[in-house]
Amino acid sequence: MNKNFWKDLAAKGPIVALAPMDGYTDGPYRLTVRKTAPSTVVFSEFYSADGLVRSKHLAKEVLPHDGIERPLVFQIFGKDPEMFREAAKLIEASGATGVDINMGCPAKKVVKSGHGSSLMINRDTAFRIVEEMAKAVKIPVSVKTRLGWADDSLLVEFCQGLQNAGADLITVHGRTYQQAFWGKADFTGIYELKRHLSIPVLCNGDITDYDDGISKLGNLDGFMIGRASFGNPWCFLPGKYRPTLGEILETMDSHGALLVEKKGRKGALEARKHLVEYLHGFPGVKNYRTRLVSVENIEDIRTILDDIRKDWPELLDKVPDGSAIPRKFEGIENCPTD
């Protein structure tokens, strides 16, 4: 447990992280990324601070994790500083590397409840949340937020307040609350922010892979990749690495098996949305994708993967033409994402 984790990591080179994404960055997803790109810091889905404290079932379900996942940061949301403090203690006890506060989710139901992006305007509450958590735990406390509500005019002031309250790292998504996930991410205000803070600062938004992140790094300490990692854990590797079809199928098998192992039939059903993202750019792919969204168990998954191997043995050592085609997710409100 090291409060200086983020500063120490930043001193070694750019920090590369998997962004927290609700409905995606569960244990199997994080393990898949870590096994593919071991230098990646992985963030969890976001969980309610109140829920973790009040529901032993939720805490027992989501906090246990495989050691291979570390460095692992759990993200939580809410508005009650005392609940954040107690949730941070639970996360620390789980062995996680750090705890992150969601101050950026633009989903209307989240903001209406006083959570997520609303904390950018309820600043006293935001600062108290960070302060309570920083005093309560020895693991680093970080914040993920946005440029601002309508523009970035108050970004520096807000983040200086977070730093003064005890934040050890800040990640900024390059859009405002009003933009949600529309338009193009702009990192100009984030570069300016870094000039005013002594803690590490990461950027996030529309980053497609490691090389793209490096090209946008500027004076920052690192970056997060979110939606571009769907079906593409190789995006965290340098050199625009593109896997062969054989590698893709092997990773799909592993990812599917992890989902079923950890979640049973629920995991098999969740595998549908995960595994369909891996397949692009070779003949008959539409048929295989159609079958994947109907799988019921690991046997169904492996039957489809075996069929691809049997149908296309000559392609297994080749890179599918569409495996690195960037996909647009503009307007998605699957929060927090990217």
Is 220 found in the same domain as 115? yes
Cα atoms in the 13 Å half-sphere on the side-chain side of 181: 20
pLDDT score for 322: 60
In a domain, 117, yes or no: yes
Domain count of the fold of the chain: 2
Give how far Cα 95 sits from Cα of 32, 41, 85, 137, 330, Å: 19, 15, 16, 12, 35
Is 186 found in the same domain as 303? no
Is 96 found in the same domain as 14? yes
pTM for the complete prediction? 0.94
Is 267 found in the same domain as 218? no
pLDDT score for 334: 46
Sign of CA dihedral 314, 317, 320, 321: negative
B/e letters for 80-116, b = 16+ CB within 10 Å, e = fewer, are: bbebbbbbbbbbbebebbbbbbbbbbbbeebbeeebb
Token pair of 295 as six digits: 């799988």
Q: Please give the sequence-ordered ranges of beta strands (E in DSSP) within the chain, or none if there are none.
A: 15-18, 41-48, 72-77, 98-103, 141-146, 169-173, 201-204, 222-225
Catalytic residues: 105
Is 118 found in the same domain as 175? yes
Q: Is 142 helix (H, G, I), strand (E, B) or coil?
A: strand
C-alpha to C-alpha distance for 226 and 15, rounded to whole angstroms: 14
Any residues with CB less than 8 A from the CB of 18 and at least 6 apart, and which? 25, 29, 30, 33, 40, 41, 42, 43, 224, 225, 226, 229, 236
Task: List alpha helices for 37-173, DSSP H.
Answer: 49-54, 56-62, 81-93, 108-112, 123-136, 155-165
In a domain, 105, yes or no: yes
pLDDT score for 332: 42
Instruction: Average pLDDT across each block of 10 residues of the chain; the chain has 338 residues. List them in order.
Output: 92 97 97 98 97 95 96 97 98 98 91 91 97 98 96 96 98 92 93 98 97 98 97 97 97 98 96 97 94 97 98 95 51 49
C-alpha to C-alpha distance for 121 and 99, rounded to whole angstroms: 22
Is 306 found in the same domain as 196? no
Q: Are 145 and 336 in contact (CB under 8 A)?
A: no
C-alpha to C-alpha distance for 279 and 293, rounded to whole angstroms: 12
Domain encompassing residue 296 = 245-315
* 61 φ, ψ (degrees, to nearest 5): -80, -40
In a domain, 334, yes or no: no
| Bridge partner list, 100 | 75, 142
Q: Are 310 and 284 in contact (CB under 8 A)?
A: no
C-alpha to C-alpha distance for 257 and 110, rounded to whole angstroms: 33
**Helix/strand number for the chain, H first, E second:** 14, 8
pLDDT score for 228: 96
pLDDT score for 16: 98
pLDDT score for 182: 86
Is 215 found in the same domain as 119? yes
pLDDT score for 108: 87
Q: Tokens 């993920």 — which residue?
A: 144
In a domain, 200, yes or no: yes
